[in-house]
């Protein structure tokens, strides 16, 4: 059984007659259709709306509440920096998991390769800018015209109301919803407490994803980046593009940096889904055996990691909670650097800067007591050393990635939903606790029938759920669940918009 099959186990699937376009009804007035309010119009929210309309055309009144100007971008694809490229080849980043090449064909049809010749790698794969991917998602939602409404607002609260929910919006107009989908995902990174005293320094960048976050960094500044994964790679690429030539030191607990893609793409290799491992150690041994076997067949570790990702759901579900915690603690840093790869163009910058001696990646910790207006004095301690060494920088950038574990504190909406008991954190602190259909589990352990969680915040239940391909597949499953639940519920009452 493939990971894709496994994902299908918990959704209605084609046997329920919910293949794209099967629930054909004449468009009716919005007031007679079940209303689905999707809170958050990033990739997950937009792709879910697209799938819902595709699964049951004109069957729902679909509203996306999203404060950004456009839906389909969210944090990752709202970047206008051309140094930020998608980190999965375009061929695999599609609105529908099963329609490989959809985005790539869209790019080619729109003449993109000629506008960005650097996007092509070895004339085979396209790694366009992240903005281009946002354009693709946005264009497909816009194409659906009035079937999907974008309400440019921030949801403040979700309150049970008349068998559905009242979504309290920042623009003052509440919306009644039969079904709510939370697709609010990414939070800013969390500043490590050991350097929190520096956060008011003018060149301390706590959130590198804010527009122009790196503006105050001068070309010769000595920069300390805390974090060595994907965000660090983005920051180095952005600094390089803006003409920065000073020294950059990037640190993390293990000093591991993200890998790039293999020169040659092979079919996924190995099998971790049949009789999946029940302990982290057994899984690790199995991975090592698969890598050795792949080597004997002249293959690298890449196809093994690809198979692990595809079968991530089966692997995760087979591990008891204690083992999942162990996996996160011991293997996640390695998984994050080998599984989440950077675009070859970004890797070229990293490799060049290392060769030039202007980028050093270290396994180290950092601490600081205070800052003055000029130099930023910190202490660095190399991994396994007991000695703190003084060091001085002109700027510090936090690149530890989204702090999903604190999402109930950092997102006020989730704060309200959590304190009202409608949803709760998952036991591993990865996001929100959901059942196998993606429905939120409340504080009392009850499943909320019509409250879904789309996007990476559901990964406590599903394991690997971060990259666009997995998110698209998950969104389609939720769309099918919503359409199916709606059929079961038969007639839902009309729902006037509440003032």
- Contact positions toward ligand FAD, by CB under 6 A? 39-45, 65-68, 74-76, 86-88, 93, 130, 154-155, 183-186, 402, 411, 413, 455-456, 466-468, 471
Which burial class, exposed, middle or buried, applies to 20 when counting CB atoms under 10 A from its CB (0-12, 13-18, 19+)?
middle
Q: Report, in Å, the least distance between residue 448 CB and ligand FAD.
A: 17
- Closest separation between CB of residue 40 and ligand FAD, Å? 3
Alpha-carbon torsion (226, 229, 234, 236), positive or negative: positive
| Distance of closest approach, residue 158 Cβ to ligand FAD, in angstroms | 9
**Assigned token pair, 326:** 């162990």
CB of 116 vs ligand FAD, minimal distance in Å: 15
Nearer to ligand FAD, 394 or 470 (CB): 470
Please say which residue, 411 or 461, places its beta carbon nearer to ligand FAD: 411
H or E stretch covering 351: helix 344-356
Q: How far is CA 71 from the centre of its chain?
A: 15
Distance between CA atoms of residues 78 and 490, nearest Å: 39
| Residue 49 or 294 having the CB closest to ligand FAD | 49
Nearer to ligand FAD, 313 or 393 (CB): 313
Q: Which is nearer to ligand FAD, 188 or 276 (CB)?
A: 188
Phi, then psi, of 60 in degrees rounded to 5: -125, 155
**Per the structure block, which two tokens stand in for 217?**
């960094």
DSSP codes, 223-240: EEEE--SHHHHHHHHHHH
Q: Which is nearer to ligand FAD, 87 or 228 (CB)?
A: 87
Q: Is 391 left (phi over 0), alpha (psi -120 to 50) or beta?
A: beta
Cα radius of gyration (the chain)? 23
Task: Give whichever of 376 and 472 is closer to ligand FAD, judged by the CB atom.
Answer: 472
Min. distance of Cβ 50 from ligand FAD in angstroms? Answer: 12
* Cα 111 to Cα 89, 108, 115, 116, 126, distances in angstroms: 17, 5, 7, 9, 13
Measured from the CB atom, the residue of 79 and 371 that comes closer to ligand FAD is 79
- Closest approach of ligand FAD to the CB of residue 22, in Å: 26
Closest contact distance (angstroms) between CB of 378 and ligand FAD is 25
Q: Which two tokens stand for residue 125?
A: 């794969």
CB of residue 130 to ligand FAD, shortest distance in Å: 6
Name the nearest CA neighbour of 225 among 239, 211, 212: 239
DSSP letter string, 192-211: PGGGGGGTTSTTEES-TTST
CB of 471 to ligand FAD, least distance (A): 6
Specify the residue, 36 or 185, whose C-beta has the smaller distance to ligand FAD: 185
Q: Strands across the sheet with 248-252, in order?
A: 204-205, 395-398, 223-226, 248-252, 359-367, 376-382, 389-393
What torsion do the CA atoms of 323, 328, 329, 330 make, to the nearest 10 degrees? 80
| CB closer to ligand FAD, 155 vs 397 | 155
Q: Is 129 helix (H, G, I), strand (E, B) or coil?
A: strand
Q: How far apart are CA 228 and CA 479, in angstroms?
A: 36
Q: What minimum distance in Å lies between the beta carbon of 306 and ligand FAD? A: 13
> CB under 8 Å to 263, separation ≥6 — which residues?
122
């Amino acid at each position: 059984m493939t990971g894709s099959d496994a994902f299908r186990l918990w959704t209605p699937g084609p046997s329920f007659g919910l293949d794209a376009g099967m629930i054909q009804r004449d468009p009716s007035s919005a007031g007679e259709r079940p209303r689905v309010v999707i809170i958050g119009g990033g990739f997950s929210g937009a792709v879910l709306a697209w799938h819902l309309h595709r699964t049951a055309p004109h069957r729902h009144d679909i509203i996306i509440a999203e404060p950004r100007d456009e839906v389909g971008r969210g944090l990752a694809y709202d970047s206008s920096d051309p140094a930020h490229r998608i980190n999965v080849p375009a061929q695999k980043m599609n609105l529908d998991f099963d329609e490989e090449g959809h985005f790539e064909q869209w790019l080619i049809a729109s003449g993109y390769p000629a506008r960005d010749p650097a996007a092509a790698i070895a004339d085979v794969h396209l790694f366009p800018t992240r903005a281009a991917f946002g354009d693709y998602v946005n264009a497909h939602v816009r194409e659906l015209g009035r079937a999907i409404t974008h309400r440019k607002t921030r949801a403040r609260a979700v309150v049970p109301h008349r068998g559905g929910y009242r979504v309290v919006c920042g623009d003052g107009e509440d919306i009644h919803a039969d079904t709510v989908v939370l697709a609010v995902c990414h939070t800013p990174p969390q500043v490590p407490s050991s350097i929190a005293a520096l956060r008011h320094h003018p060149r301390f960048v706590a959130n590198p994803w804010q527009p122009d976050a790196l503006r105050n960094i001068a070309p010769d500044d000595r920069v300390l980046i805390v974090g060595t994964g994907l965000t660090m790679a983005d920051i180095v690429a952005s600094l390089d593009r803006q003409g920065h030539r000073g020294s950059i030191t990037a640190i993390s607990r293990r000093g591991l940096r993200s890998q790039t893609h293999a020169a040659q793409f092979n079919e996924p290799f190995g099998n971790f889904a049949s009789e999946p491992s029940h302990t982290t150690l057994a899984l690790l041994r199995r991975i090592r055996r698969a890598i050795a076997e792949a080597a004997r067949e002249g293959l690298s570790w890449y196809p093994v990691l690809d198979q692990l990702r595809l079968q991530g759901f089966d692997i995760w579900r087979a591990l008891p909670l204690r083992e999942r915690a162990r996996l996160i603690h011991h293997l996640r840093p390695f998984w994050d650097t080998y599984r989440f790869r950077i675009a070859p163009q970004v890797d070229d910058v990293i490799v060049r800067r290392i060769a030039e001696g202007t980028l050093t990646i270290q396994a180290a910790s950092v601490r600081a007591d205070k800052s003055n207006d000029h130099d930023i004095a910190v202490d660095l301690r190399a991994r396994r050393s007991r000695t703190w060494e003084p060091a001085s920088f002109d700027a510090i950038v936090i690149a530890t990635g989204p702090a999903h574990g604190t999402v109930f504190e950092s997102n006020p909406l989730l704060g309200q939903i959590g304190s009202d008991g409608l949803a709760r954190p998952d036991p591993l602190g990865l996001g929100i606790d959901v059942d196998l259909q993606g429905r939120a589990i409340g504080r009392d352990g009850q499943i909320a029938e019509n409250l879904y969680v789309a996007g990476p915040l559901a990964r406590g239940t599903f394991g690997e759920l971060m990259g666009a391909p997995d998110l698209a597949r998950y969104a389609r499953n939720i769309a099918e669940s919503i359409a199916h639940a709606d059929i079961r519920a038969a007639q839902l009452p009309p729902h006037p918009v509440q003032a």
